[in-house]
Amino acid sequence: MRKITAGLFIAADGVVESPEQWHFPYFDAEMGAAVGAQLGAADTVLLGRVTYDTFADSWPAREAAGGDDAPMARALGDARKVVVSNAELAFTWRNSEQLKGDLVEAVTALKQEPGGPIGMSGSISVVRALLAAALIDELHLYVHPIAVGRGVRLFDESAGPIRLKLLSNTVFATGVLHTVYGPADA
């Protein structure tokens, strides 16, 4: 069975919304390597529509520009991109397709297909649903030393208990904690 890894930039107060407004002062080569290892190793990337639109608006141009992040941009472009949305979508980024049917059933079937790891980045509502269904094998949280104060949090008040176990924890020089959780043993 394929493994799903999800990576999220998260503030110390649990906010995951709009990381582009607070995340970049903490991004460095150390974090780039960790994100690249998690997301860049995937041959399939599972994304919500909003995250997909953001990625599709930036990564193809970054690949074409040939800068320092062109290898990551190329890996993302070459990966199969499966997008979760209830609306019909038209795609401009290569290797993109829409997930059809019930989210949990479709992702369960996706995990059964042959292939390598399935990576996720952002896509909060999808991550929440897959955590609740115990379909995420590794949750990579990049906890930033900042309290944003307001915004969508990873776990809201409607979430039931989701038991996790710590797989690893690394402190980056910037003060960001890279914490990896997996499902707790039954």
The average pLDDT across 145-162 equals 87
Please give the model's pTM, rounded to 2 decimal places: 0.92
Asked if the model's pLDDT at residue 186 lies above 60, the reply is no
Residue 164, pLDDT score:
93
Q: Beta strands 177-183 and 164-171: pairing type?
A: antiparallel
Residue-level pLDDT at 116: 94
CA 68 vs CA 65, 78, 172, 174: distances in Å: 9, 17, 21, 20
Q: What percent of the chain has a predicted confidence (pLDDT) above 90? A: 80
Q: What distance in Å separates the CA atoms of residue 160 and residue 176, rounded to the nearest whole number? A: 27
**Structural fold of domain 4-183:** Dihydrofolate Reductase, subunit A (3.40.430)
Grade residue 159 by pLDDT with cuts at 50, 70 and 90.
Answer: low
Residues 6+ apart with CB under 8 A from 120: 4, 5, 6, 7, 39, 45, 46, 47, 126, 127, 130, 136
pLDDT digit string, tens, across residues 39-73? 888 999 999 999 999 999 999 999 999 888 888 89
Q: State pLDDT tens for residues 15-35.
A: 999 999 999 999 999 999 999
Query: Higher confidence at residue 90 or residue 159?
Result: 90
pLDDT at site 40: 83
